[in-house]
Amino acid sequence: MTARRSRVPRFYFNFRSPYSWIAYRDLMDRFPDVAQVVEWHPWWEPDADGERRMAEHRRSFPYTAMSRDKHLYILQDVRRLTIDRGLAVTWPVDRDPVWEVPHLAYFHALDAGCAPAYIERVYRARWQEGRDVCDREVIADIATGLGFPDEAAERMAHAADDPELRAGRGLGALLDLSRDGAFGVPFFTLGYDKYWGVDRLPAFAGAVRSRAAPPPAPPTTPGPPADADFVAARSGDQGHAGGCG
């Protein structure tokens, strides 16, 4: 399979993962200029309907469920990472989550021009307030807090129940992450390069900044000083033909 090249830098974010939340905070706090130029792509584990739609396009979700030991390790690791950053975390309890609920609602926020505020509010609700962001009432409350009218907030809350959204932009997002081989989150792409994990964010940000920086100006050859005799007189060591040494 030919590697896929992303023309612009991408950040695959996910509301379920604590690592994605930490990467989001690092991106906004440490690399705000990079946050302004990346494409934000939602990443979520599809339900049976989403998996069926992907299979119809000969695609599958590139993720393997974690073991119990890995889950216990993540609890310890996230505690270390959040303490280092001065973040308070409240672990949510997931009961039969449907991840389409918060992630498909993102497209409504995007269309309304408040995607950044929505992402921040959902992350805060889940990881700092311990709320169930797969609860449609929680999403409706977040939408209302962002200033959406009641009818629009209700549409956001029930975005996962919209077959047109699922078959269109929802499926498109799932196919994108499959084509990019985004097997976990946080996941970043730039050109043919892929970066996975919180600890790869600085390298990704550096690559984005390097690409955005203007090329250095060509070196110029200065002419002789206006008063060469005066310059020479101030230095007793004129060097030699071989240069320094």
- The CATH fold assigned to 6-212 is Glutaredoxin (3.40.30)
- Which of 83-92, 180-189, 207-216 has the least mean pLDDT? 207-216
Query: Quick one: pLDDT band at residue 63, thresholds 50, 70, 90?
Result: confident
Q: How far apart are CA 2 and CA 13, in angstroms?
A: 24
Give the DSSP letter string of 190-210.
Answer: EETEEEESGGGHHHHHHHHHH
Q: How far apart are CA 106 and CA 122, in angstroms?
A: 10
For the stretch 146-173, pLDDT in tens is 999 999 999 999 999 999 999 999 999 9
For the stretch 72-131, pLDDT in tens is 999 999 999 999 999 999 999 999 999 999 999 999 999 999 999 999 999 999 999 999
| Nearest CA-CA partner of 104 in 33, 164, 184 | 164
Q: How far apart are CA 149 and CA 108, in angstroms?
A: 13
State the average pLDDT for the chain: 88
DSSP code for 213: S
Query: Quick one: pLDDT band at residue 2, thresholds 50, 70, 90?
Result: low
Q: Is the dihedral of CA 10, 133, 165, 167 positive or negative?
A: positive
Instruction: Name the helix (H) or strand (E) containing 152.
Output: helix 150-157
- Three-state secondary structure call for residue 48: helix
- What was the pLDDT predicted at 213? 72
Give the contacts of 232 (CB within 8 A, at least 6 positions apart).
238
Q: Inform me whether the pLDDT recorded for 232 exceeds 50.
A: no
- What was the pLDDT predicted at 240? 29
Q: Domain boundaries in the chain?
A: 6-212
Torsions phi, psi for 7 (to 5 deg): -70, -30
Percent of the chain with pLDDT over 70: 86
- Three-state secondary structure call for residue 40: strand
Q: Inform me whether the pLDDT recorded for 236 exceeds 70.
A: no
Distances (CA, A) of 190 to 119, 203, 208: 22, 11, 7
pTM summary value = 0.84
Q: Assign residue 86 a region: left if phi > 0, alpha if psi is -120 to 50, beta otherwise?
A: left
Summarize the confidence of residues 170-180 as an average pLDDT.
97
